[in-house]
Structure 1
Amino acid sequence: QLQRLAAVLGRELAASCLQLSQSGAGLALQGWVAPATAARSQADLQFFFVNGRYVKDRLVSHAVRQAFADVLYAGRHPVYVLHLSLDPARVDANVHPAKHEVRFRDGRLVHDFIYRSLHEALADQRPGQAAAIATEATAGASSAAPTGPSAWRPAQQRLGLSQVREQWAAYAALYGQGAGQASETADRSVQIPQSTASSAAAVIETVGDDADVPPLGYALAQLAGIYILAQNAQGLVIVDMHAAHERITYERLKEAADREGVRVQPLLVPRQLAVSPAEAELAEREAAGFAELGFEIERAGPESVRVRAVPEMLAGSDIEALLRDLLADLRERGSLSRAGERRNELLSTAACHGSVRANRRLSIPEMNALLRDMEQTERAGQCNHGRPTWTALSLRELDALFLRGR
């Protein structure tokens, strides 16, 4: 099956796919789904089979897109090969002369089953699992027998973290920085750095053997106020800190809204904003819906609204800009429904305002805390808009960039 999948999708794309197997209510869904980062500009790698027959169905396409809604970049199309099995009596295959379309007897049940299966599978993916898949794919590609002039060249040696510590200590001693010894603590915490060299050395000293390294590794530095540079057991990890924190905030807001409601932070001084008459009317009409999301908003006049409370997680954000964006989203998408997808769209906008911004300096402990949160957050591989939150370069790939081992 994997060989056939590679023949259809290509070896590299097939190696990155998530295998899926779900069953329930007399339905069984099996197959492979590529990560959101592998989405394409056209829907040319979407294959869906019903009882072994290839079909194209709008209901299925809608269910898949809904499952990818939180992680798919605008205008992109997911890649999948899925097989649905069910009682033949529950599906009509005679809708289309070429039998490329079907009609399910219980379309809502099938739609929800496909959506739930994919949604849960995508949510279960953590950065650690993605890193493991990438490592296995790299190992698989490197295990093939080399050909051509480079076949005789020895493979570049992989450096473990203990070897990296030794080399860093020698480098630091050469330039008089010292090895930057970190205090040994039971929880393996990292001290706040005094300089770039000492902070990186402290991180490396704190890290134990490769087996102890988290999937996203430990932070080394911050680049241009935008990216976190970290080292894991495989090599270099680069994280877009705003995109990553946006996803973390979004998932926490959704979880809070689903569980007991968003915790509210009353404003010491209520904020009054000038808005259009239509926006003032909209805020008044949807006040109850906003309250469910943690916003206490009331109409203050024909062209003004007053904000008395916001979600606790967003208390430090720009309240005026946040509210204007929420009203604009709501005006475009229609009324607010707690059970509908519009709620998540508004929470996504709110999460963007409540996340760390570019050019904000983070300490090493803050960066490591963000990395650990990413590892525990659903769909952490993409931000709310579908942009990737992190990428990695293995030591083998870094060696190739510098022609090492040749």
Structure 2
Amino acid sequence: MSIRRLPEHLVNRIAAGEVVERPASALKELVENAIDAGARDISVRLAGGGVDGIEVIDDGCGMSRGEIALAVERHATSKLPDDAIEAVQTLGFRGEALPSIASVARVTIESRVRGEEGWRLEIDNGATAGEGPAAIPPGTRVRVAGLFEKVPARRKFLRSARSEYAACVDVVRRLAMARPDIAFTLEHDGRRSLSVQRDEGRPARVAALTDRMLIENSVAIDFAREGILLGGVAGLPTFNRGVADHQYLFVNGRPVKDRLLMGAIRGAYAEMLARDRHAVVALFLEVPADMVDVNVHPAKTEVRFRDPGLVRGLIVSGLRRALDEAGHRSVQRPSEAALGAWRSSPLPFSGEGWERGLSAGAQPGEASSTSIPSHEWDGREYLAAVQDRHPTFLTQPPLGRAEAAAQPVPETASHPLGVARGQIARTYIVAEAEDGLVIVDQHAAHERLVLERMRRALSDGGVRSQALLLPEVVELEETACDRLEARAAELAELGLELERFGARAMLVRAVPALLGQGEVQGLVTDLADEIAAYDEALSLKERLDHVAATMACHGSVRAGRILSVTEMNALLREMEVTPHSGQCNHGRPTWVKLAHGDIEKLFGRK
């Protein structure tokens, strides 16, 4: 086949393929244009997830009649004042954005420079469809409709309107996070879903766009080295998420997704986070233009540094220094109202010795303040008198207390994991086996057991649910609610009954009976993260496995809970008959054993 010159309309469509992959790609280019035009207020309106319509309105410098016509020509730009491509300071200089979008959609551009009349230009899939005066305030309005209508091969690869909308929200969120000096609003099908005011400060802007609790559970980053500045907000290690999509990275004000930077964040939080948990951070790097190349990706979502080691070390050192200065800080305690919702049962009335102990423990001050003479008291009267005056003074003690043996101690020979002898640090069960000492991580072990129970229940027709006495409302981002709502039927198979409760909340009516009364808020939040990360790539069975694993983690016995000897032995016995119980759902070991020979070596006996 001989070489030929491609027609103009095909050249434009090829260029569009580099820049316009989906509605979010077009939206990113339009909003970046508004930012570079010096806008202070940017308004975005979407229809059908951006597939049916995109509108971006700004109050920037605007364009004259001649500039509008030039803006839709290829390789025409105002963002590159000279030929130094490597020194570009704006969000982009490519001339393909507007003409490429106009080649695969119907585009209307209206703009007005202050002190001049406005002008309108309409383009229909690469051909001029009309122009004329426009009555608009100073600034620019760009409407995009019918994206890929005349390119069905491209349109059929678009995802659902809900998925495309989620991608558009992510684009606006990242750009709004980078510029706290600009006000942003986002409306979808006539309903406002995002709104932030200008000049609210970087920490407040990041918290408003991610999680409003972040501002109380984060540290500020302010670090510099060899001309590179690092700023931003880093969540405390205990304020983490189930997936890494809450890590926002910016280089010279440009949102990027860079493997080097993501790896640096993981390195900084190493030894402070479990392998299945991810930090919540927003990092802003200011790098001299000659030290970074932003032109390595058509959409400029990746960058290349002249000295990658310096940048990585800067991020690791800056994050660790900030986290070290946070000291013993952890996620803030829940509100007093939430703490007051806990209830405890009274002590059981069993055993004369226990009652005598109560009587012997009575304080003189307490006895003189009641109408019952102290010499007439017994244990029951003391308990009743104190509880009348202080209802919460005496509550049920921890279950891991000393107990009288009701049955002979089991023989260790019949149990591979031995017999429980005690608990260390409220986290590890110590058991004596015939051939050594077994130490079990109670949370990791029970997590695996709960997951295997849920898998068996699924294979038998579904997990039984337990209705909540009072349905619980969980507030989430709108896109997270959309994902949960779309998977409500699958979650119901696992015993979790959800329904939509407004634009940004889900109502939890029932939880899996296997989990008991767990933390519903954390469970639903992590499930939304899991679905966002794995929903599109996995089969139904794989998705259910991921969701079941997340539920099992939230429903398992937590580290810090004191267990009775009976509970410890029951956990060991179930581990012995459960497949894969040697490791938890995240690959960590659930138990380790010190053989007798190993113990003897520790004491110099061998």
* TM-score, structure 1 normalization: 0.49
Query: Which structure is richer in relative contact order (CA contacts within 8 A, separation 6 or more)?
Result: 1
Give the helix-richer structure, 1 or 2: 1
| Max Rg structure | 2
* TM-score, structure 2 normalization: 0.33
